[in-house]
Amino acid sequence: MGKKKGTITIYDVAREADVSMATVSRVVNGNPNVKPSTRKKVLEVIRQLGYRPNAVARGLASKKTTTVGVIIPDISNMFYAELTRGIEDIATMYHYNIILSNSDLKTEKELKLIETLLEKQVDGLLYLGGELTDTHQEIFAETNVPVVLAATHDQTQKQSFVTIDQKKAAEEATTVLIEEGTQQIAFISGPLTDVVKGYPRYQGYKSALKKHQIPFDEEWVRVGDYRYTSGYQSMMELLEAHPDCKAVFAASDEMAVGAIHAALDKGKRIPDDLSVIGFENIPLASQVRPLLSTIHVPMYDIGAVAMRLLTKFMNNEEIESSQVVLQYTVELRQSTRLKKWPNR
């Protein structure tokens, strides 16, 4: 027993327990065809030696690695942190391990990560990225590994996905501000190159204005990056250019909180002088004062449902629908004058 734990092999366990390597393998893999006394002896030797089964070797034998690759745009973003928790909880329930990779929403990096995870023989892939390019589609089409998109979607309808209707949710957020009786409504957008969240939310803002016959003016739009600082700076710019601004819809809660703080620094009262509504309902929305009105995106549920859908693919279970659009809700709090909304 002089070997280091990292070098203990199945052969060492078999020799110490005086059984065959096949018997050790059956014990490790939970095979019931082992005598209780033998199982107990083998498990005791495993404990004493500190043996850890080789997951790669087991994967080669079973053709399964019980691992799932997850490609996430930004692990520091609270939206994705909550979504990842939903993925992890369901993965644990179904005995899968997660390999988490951060893509920074860079297409080249996403493609490299996908190839790397497939090379690691993952059993399934969850993609929380941006726009699906032709190259993405080619890789997904060529692999036998099931792929599910989470918090994004495939405009070609080829891939399985779990998401919400981004445009419609943004339209409702803007309508909340319109219902307060104002037409001076600014929008702090996410990147318009982001076809998953940024551009659809921009479209929703424009659609709400059009439905209520309010002229759209690009001068009332600022583009941020979903983070607090860009929300603060954008609101400062908007108030300098449009001091008559009465309301603002921010495409993320972090930007909305930044906008609130900028308005307060400008001497504005929230919501008496300026109404603010965000998007996503991350924990920050209920921690800031005044409490932030926002679109509640069921982040945890998106992750959990996407992971469960992936387990069905991996285990060849029956699937009712491979393209799932979950419901969002409008959460009205203290940062808007309107306090009630007919949530579905």
pLDDT at 7 over 80: no
pLDDT at 203: 97
pLDDT at 173: 97
The phi, psi pair for 280, rounded to 5°, reads: 120, -40
pLDDT at 1: 39
Quote the tokens at residue 329.
């809700």
Reported as a single tens digit per residue, the pLDDT across 182-224 is 999 999 999 998 888 899 999 999 999 999 999 999 999 999 9
pLDDT at 53 over 70: no
Mean pLDDT of the chain: 89
Strand pairing category for 275-280 and 293-296 = parallel
**193: Cα within 13 Å, side-chain hemisphere:** 6
Find the distance separating the first CA and the last CA of the chain, reported in whole Å.
65
pLDDT at 55: 56
pLDDT at 120: 84
Task: Quote the CA–CA distance of 286 and 6 in Å, as a whole number.
Answer: 47
What residue spans of 50-104 are helical by DSSP H? 55-62, 78-93
Quote the tokens at residue 233.
């700076």
pLDDT at 293 over 50: yes
Instruction: Label residue 31 by pLDDT band (50, 70, 90).
Output: confident
Which H/E stretch holds residue 99? Answer: strand 97-102
Task: Quote the CA–CA distance of 215 and 89 in Å, as a whole number.
Answer: 46
pLDDT at 4 over 70: no
8-state DSSP, 284: G
pLDDT at 172: 97
Reported as a single tens digit per residue, the pLDDT across 58-91 is 554 555 778 999 999 887 777 788 889 999 999 9
Strand pairing category for 160-163 and 247-250 = unpaired
Least confident of 102-116, 174-188, 220-234, 272-286: 102-116
pLDDT at 237: 97
Instruction: Label residue 3 by pLDDT band (50, 70, 90).
Output: very low
pLDDT at 127: 93
8-state DSSP, 5: G
Instruction: Label residue 2 by pLDDT band (50, 70, 90).
Output: very low
Instruction: Label residue 5 by pLDDT band (50, 70, 90).
Output: very low
Task: Quote the CA–CA distance of 212 and 72 in Å, as a whole number.
Answer: 37
Of 82 and 272, which is predicted with more confidence?
Answer: 272
Task: Quote the CA–CA distance of 96 and 90 in Å, as a whole number.
Answer: 9
Residues 77-106, mean pLDDT to the nearest whole number: 88
8-state DSSP, 184: -
Residues 327-337, mean pLDDT to the nearest whole number: 95
The phi, psi pair for 339, rounded to 5°, reads: -115, -10
| pTM recorded for the entire structure | 0.78
User: Which residues are registered as beta bridge partners of 149?
Assistant: 127, 161
Of how many residues is the chain composed? 344
Spatial contact of 293 and 331, defined as CB atoms under 8 Å apart: yes
pLDDT at 56: 52
Residues 231-247, mean pLDDT to the nearest whole number: 96
